[in-house]
Structure formats: C-alpha cells, structure tokens
Structure 1
Amino acid sequence: MTYIAKPRLHHPSLTRNKVGYTRRDYEGKVSTLCAGCGHDSISAAIIQACWELDIEPHRVAKLSGIGCSSKTPDYFLGASHGFNTVHGRMPSVLTGANLANRDLLYLGVSGDGDSASIGLGQFAHAMRRNVNMVYIVENNGVYGLTKGQFSATADKGSQSKKGVVNADSPVDLVGLAMQLGASFVARSFSGDKAQMVPLIKAAIGHGGAAFIDIISPCVTFNNHAGSTRSYDWVREHNEAVSRIDFIT
C-alpha cells in the first residue's frame, strides 16, 4: 500500500552526488501499481535524472491529476513538495504555484486520460503560455483505473483486450504541443531507460514548457496482441517513432 515507506537506513557505501544525496534519497513510497507497469519505469528514470543532476529534493514541486499515472509522484522524490489535483486540472494548479514561487522546479505528471480528455484545454493553455515546467504524460492509451476503456490517445484500429477495435482518430499531444509553441517537445518509451533519462534531464534544464509524451504500456489492459501500446509493439516500432537526434 502507498502508506508503506521504504527503510530510511542506507548502506554506508552508497554513492553520493555533489549535494550529498544517494540515489535512494530520491525514492518515495512503495509502488502499488501492477507489476511490470511502465509507469514505475518512468518513476525510476525521474529518480535517476534528478540524482545525476544534483537536484535537492526540497527544491522540487511535483503535481498530478487523477489516474494511475497521477499516483506515481508518491513513488519518487519523497522529500519534495507535492499536490494531487482534481481530474485534468494539474496545469492550472501548477501555474498558480509557479506564480507564487518561481524558485522551485515544477514537475507535472499526468496521463493520457487526464491530459488528452478532460484536461485537454488545461494542457493546451499551459503549452501556449510557455509555463516553466516539466510536463510528463504517461501514455498507455487506456483508462487503467476504470477497466481499460480506450482513451483519447488510442490509435485508430488498435484492439482492446476484449477484441473491440477503436474507430476514433487519436489526439496527438506531441503534435498539439508543437503547434501551440511549446519550446521543448519529446516522445519516449518507458521500456527504454537509456532514452528516457537524458530526455528528462534535458527537459529539467530547459527554461519554459518542456513536454515529454512517454508511451507506457498498461500490463493489465493494453499489453496484448493487436494493441499499439503493448511492450512488443512499441519495441518493434521504437526506432521508427521515437528515435531522433537530440540537439542541445
């Protein structure tokens, strides 16, 4: 359960970064997500990126909305500030916090249901206003908390676990962010840590709205043959859809 904290005692030989923290100091509580969930890999990448960048945890404010993805801030940076907003309203609350204190690093974590459906307007205006934040969408194409219905980002023709074929065109958050003028836009895959960590580090170092859409398979409802959000499908197509040269 989320109330179970990890042991505070660390092995004395653990490597410390320049501000004196071990990687364990950037962890949070024990995850309650399904074993193998891509969201836990994203949490691990955020932990690794913050540790490598020598960020003091108390200088970070992490905000989320509603959904499996929005539970994840409890699983990383346990010593940072945090706020769980109502469904789709994370960007507005983050904007208000940013106006009140511009000295913190703002990290917004959301899901495809949270950002591409009820929160689509919030997402659009956060990008348009170039709010200084790292905005990560953990994109699995389904509503994992409500038994796996298609979300607005599900690809047309993708099949559900029950064999239903999605007939709707997807909302492409990457294309939308670029159209709205976001100055840092990227897409990654939760099964590719070597790609995720540098992208998250680059986003943290970027001033303004830095958006990363991370394909993150749902092992319970969207990791089967016919799904375009399964581990097998994304690994097979990762070079084609996600690999670009990064220019500082």
Structure 2
Amino acid sequence: MGKVNKIDLPLDDYKGGKSTLCPGCGHDAISSVIMKAAWENAIPPEGIAKMSGIGCSSKTPAYFLQKSHGFNTAHGRMPSVTTGANMANKNLNFLAVSGDGDTASIGIGQFIHAIRRNLNMLYIVENNGVYGLTKGQYSATAEKGTQKRKGSPNEQKEIDLCAMAINLGCAFVARSFSGSRKQLTALIRAGMSHRGMAVIDVISPCVTFNNNEESYKSLQYVKNNNEELHSLDYIPHFNPIEEIEIPSGGYKEVKLHDGSYLRLETI
C-alpha cells in the first residue's frame, strides 16, 4: 500500500480525469499542486466543492479531486454561485478556480463583491495574460508592453488583481508561478486553511499563444527575473500533544504529528 495522509487516504483519491489542455500548459501544473495540497491538508475529497466559470482555467476542476463536488457556472458568475452555495452549506471547503478573463474582465464586479463579502473560499486565478479559448487575444491582466507570440505589443495598462484585492481589504493575498511547485503548494495549503477570502494569483504560461521570450508571463521571463527573497513553507495547526510523565531513569517515545517519534529520557 502506498503512502497515506492523516485520514488514511492515498494521493490517488485526490486525482481527477485526464487533462485535455495543451501539453505543457501551466494550468496542469497548478492542478497537480492542488491535489497534493488537499491531500497533505487531509481534507476529505467529499468535503470540497470545486467552483469555476468559463475558460481554459475553468476546465481544470475536471482534472483533480474527482470525488469532490463541482459546479461549472456561467462566464464570470462563479463568485455569485459560490456565495449561494456557501450560504446553503458552510461545512464545505470552497475551492474556486478562475482565469484572468473570467475574473478580470467579464467577472471583475463579481470578484470585487466576493472580496467585500469575505466569502469563506480559496480563489485561485490561473493567469496567462491571454484568452486561450478564443485564439490568444490579450486579457486585462496583460502588462503594457508585453508581446505575445503573434501580433503587436499590448498598448493598455494591466489590472493587477493582487493590488486590487489588497486595496479592497482581502486578508490573504498571494502571487506565485505555476512552475514554483514548493512555494505554490505551501500557499495553497495555507489558503485552504484560511477562514475567509483567500486570493492566489498564479502566473501560468500559455504554451500556445503567450510563452515566447518577449511575454512577461512566459517561463523564460519568469526564470530571467526570478529573485527569491525567502523560502515559504506551511505549518498546519495541530492540537497540543498531551503532557506525559517519565519516571526517573526512564524514557518514553512520543508520536509527533507527522507520524515520527521523539524519544525523551530523564537523567
């Protein structure tokens, strides 16, 4: 039997269907991290509700947590549906997956009001800077001056979703990269544990339309401009280990939360 988590479930119980996205798409890397984070946090798959809108990103919930609840909403309307689902069942862990078009264009009003309401949900934006389903037009998060594979440079200033979320008072805001597996796992684990609205903007290269060196959201651009300020990790909350008594000259092995043992001796 393979390795299991704290509720005795293998990682396979958190997997989904086969991806139909372009080979190498950054969104698939995010799906893999979501599976690992939910497994490491020992959240029962049936205790999670996957919410999404329309777009390449919103197809991805089919590729992870196949035993979880799921709802694919109208374009840009995922936050409203999640609001209703949240009111109906507050015991579920709401995991929202959206894209830069679904969030920053047609759904930006919904995004703003979800933050205002401080919904208990993790909102992941899979941000590639283009509309992948409609042949790669620039999205509202594409930086001014960036250049996709075909066409002219973007002439309009971008919407910074993280800055917007912070200005609106969101208590948990982060940005990561789909290729930074360790950092992204820690952030998603923390976001899943946060009470209230948690927003994670994940730069996710579109290998078909926007992964050339001139693009600010390409793999090469991120590698060339990566400056690691500190290493992130996630330490979950645990109940205190009960007090123990060890007689003089004796010892006792204490089981720690990760399953390992600590041997304590008195002298």
Same fold (TM over 0.5): yes
Q: Which residue pairs with 2:29 in the alignment?
A: 41
Cα-Cα RMSD: 1.5
Is structure 2 residue 212 aligned with structure 1 residue 224? yes
What is the alpha-carbon distance in structure 2 between the residues aligned to residue 166 and residue 198 of structure 1?
Answer: 33
Is residue 87 of structure 1 aligned with residue 37 of structure 2?
A: no
State the alpha-carbon separation in 2 of the partners of residues 245 and 15 from structure 1. 24
Q: Where does the alignment leave 5 or more consecutive residues of structure 1 unmatched?
A: 1-12
Shift of 1:243: 6.0
| Distance in 2 (alpha carbons) for counterparts of 1:219 and 1:183 | 32
Shift of 1:14: 1.4
CA distance in 2, matches of 1:27, 1:245: 25
Q: Which moved more, 1:211-220 or 1:162-171?
A: 162-171
What is the letter of the counterpart of residue 71 of structure 2? F
How far is 1:109 from its partner? 0.3
Task: Give the Cα–Cα distance (whole angstroms) in 1 for the partners of residues 221 and 205 of structure 2.
Answer: 10
Q: Which residue of 2 aligns with 1:53?
A: 41
- CA–CA distance in 2 between the matches of 1:86 and 1:237? 36
* Aligned residue number for residue 250 of structure 2: none
- Asked which structure has the greater CA Rg, the reply is 2
The amino acid across from 2:12 in the alignment is R
Partners of 1:123 and 1:104 in 2: CA distance: 20
Structure 1 residue aligned with 2:175 = 187
Aligned partner letter, 2:99: G
1:177 aligns with 2:147: no
Aligned match of 1:211: 199
* Residues 189 and 238 in structure 1, CA contact (< 8 A), matched pair in contact too: no
1:113 is matched by which residue type in structure 2? G
User: For residues 27 and 212 of structure 2, what CA distance do their matches in structure 1 show?
Assistant: 17
Distance of aligned partners of 1:19 and 1:247 in 2 relative to their CA distance in 1, 3 Å threshold: closer
- Does structure 1 residue 31 correspond to structure 2 residue 19? yes
Distance (whole Å) between structure 2 residues aligned to residue 245 and residue 152 of structure 1:
29
Q: Which runs of no fewer than 5 residues in structure 2 stay unpaired? A: 236-267
Describe the superposition over 1:80-109 as per-residue Cα deviations: whole angstroms up to 9, x where unpaired.
000000100001000100000000000000
CA contact (8 A) 1:29 1:75 kept: yes
Alignment TM-score, normalising by the size of structure 1? 0.92
The number of aligned residues is: 235
The alignment's TM-score, normalised by the length of structure 2, stands at 0.85
Alignment equivalent of 2:65, drawn from 77, 80, 83: 77
Structure 1: distance between partners of 2:213 and 2:4: 43
Q: CA offsets per residue over residues 155-203 of structure 1, 9 Å max, x none? A: 0000121141100000000000000111100000001101100000000
CA contact (8 A) 2:51 2:82 kept: yes
Aligned positions of 1:87-126 closer than 5 A: 87-126=75-114
1:18 counterpart residue number = 6
Structure 1's 101 and 54: CA in aligned 2 closer, same or farther, altered over 3 A?
Answer: same
Identify the residue that residue 9 of structure 1 maps to in structure 2.
Answer: none
Give the Cα separation in 2 of the matches to 1:247 and 1:127: 23
Within the candidate set 58, 64, 68, 2:56 is matched to 68
Give, in whole Å, the separation in 2 of the partners of 1:218 and 1:247. Answer: 28
